[in-house]
Amino acid sequence: SRRAFRGDGEDWVTAPVDFTAETSWRGMDGPNSGRDAKGWVANLTIPFAALGLTSLPLPGTRWGVALVLHDRDGPDLPVVHTRWPADMDANTPATWGQLNFGWYAPHLPGALDADGVTTIRQGVDGAAVPDAHVGGHGNCGEGLDHWTEWGEAKYPGETQINIQNQWDIADYPCFSKYFITFPLDAIPAGTQVVSATVTLYLFGNAGYEPGDAQPSAIQALTIDDDWDEQTLTWNNAPRARENIALTWVEPVDGFDPGVPYRWDVSDAAAAAYGAGEPLRLAFYSADGEYHSGKYFWSSDAAEGVRPRLDVAWRDAPAAAAPGDEGVFLPLLAPP
């Protein structure tokens, strides 16, 4: 059964919201067959018209979104509630996730001239740039039990990493996320970040035959928490806070030395630098097609193809002193 509720400021009350709910499964012979199965899928479709809208919300509109999964594995077992975000309270919208309509655009004054550029890359000028990927590696978790071992697999020291996702839940052993942390202490103290770009070097992709692979929409996401390359797994990896940049990555036929792809992480770098923190990022794709994996070189690869962060900065303006004269000009930017 399905029901809709609307908050009235004090409680949730039933509401005539028209939506569809579809569920399906992927596996050998269906649920409770005793044979291998690869998960359930639930699709909820809510037309904008059902919410009183005549069209897509305007760019910049922000909605709260949260989910609760009520899971029971047997008639006599307790119901387990899994929430997203993990600390979500259904009655406290401030704890929900945020859905922003319209793609993110940096708000830094990028047109300003930079006084210098700092490049941060593993092993260059003493920089330590840890990175790791989690999930299926480049072989869809080959040799691992997909239920007891896959989510705990570790890949420290790998020179090659994979970023992969797709719609078919049955192929979840192929899913792979990438994490990297850039220290920012090489940026001169007292400066302002003008722009920042991450570059990853693509050398290959998934697929059995030429033409199998399709372009991938790979997103950069910010991470709040530290992690350890030696212990990072799919199950214990920190959750992303916000997706901040998207780059389309095309399939390649050749390998070395790698095709550079860039993500604009200017605002995230400025915020991290201002807070005295490193820039912690994750990369994941929003792909649906099969063979979507894209293979990049890691921080453990040859120096010329290691991930890099280029930060353009400018000297902070001097503070005004008593008696100084000046003209203040507004800096206008689109919302």
Provide the CATH number for the domain around residue 306: 2.60.120.260
What whole-number distance in Å separates Cα of residue 66 and Cα of residue 69?
10
Does residue 89 share a domain with residue 182? no
- Tell me the chain's radius of gyration from C-alpha atoms: 23
Of 239 and 33, more confident: 239
Res 295 pLDDT > 80: yes
Label residues 157-183 b or e (16+ Cβ within 10 Å = b). ebebbbbbbbeeeebbbbbbbbbbbbb
Per-residue pLDDT, 18:
92
Does residue 168 share a domain with residue 55? no
Does residue 200 share a domain with residue 63? no
Domain finish residue from 75, 100, 125: 100
Residue 270 lies inside a defined structural domain of this protein: yes
Residue 190 lies inside a defined structural domain of this protein: yes
Residue 328 lies inside a defined structural domain of this protein: no
Does residue 155 share a domain with residue 47? no
Per-residue pLDDT, 9:
86
- Report the chain's terminal Cα–Cα distance, integer Å: 42
3-class state of residue 270 by DSSP: helix
Distances (CA, A) of 197 to 106, 120, 160, 184, 246: 12, 10, 21, 13, 12
Residue 199 lies inside a defined structural domain of this protein: yes
Domain finish residue from 34, 68, 100: 100
Cβ partners under 8 Å of residue 51, min gap 6 = 17
Residue 108 lies inside a defined structural domain of this protein: no
Does residue 269 share a domain with residue 238? yes
Per-residue pLDDT, 64:
94
Does residue 299 share a domain with residue 154? yes
The residue range of the domain holding 9 is 5-100
Q: What's the pLDDT band for 320 if we cut at 50, 70, 90? A: low
Does residue 147 share a domain with residue 9? no
Averaged pLDDT, 58-62: 90
Does residue 238 share a domain with residue 127? yes
Of 72, 99, 103, 105, residue with least CA distance to 85: 99
Domain finish residue from 38, 65, 100: 100
pTM: 0.89
Residue 331 lies inside a defined structural domain of this protein: no
Looking at the 3D structure of the chain, how many domains does it have? 2
Does residue 292 share a domain with residue 149? yes
Averaged pLDDT, 69-82: 85
Averaged pLDDT, 84-88: 92
Residue 106 lies inside a defined structural domain of this protein: no
Does residue 298 share a domain with residue 221? yes
Residue 179 lies inside a defined structural domain of this protein: yes
Does residue 245 share a domain with residue 145? yes
Does residue 59 share a domain with residue 9? yes
Averaged pLDDT, 32-47: 83
CA angle at residue 81 from 172 to 89, to 5 degrees? Answer: 110
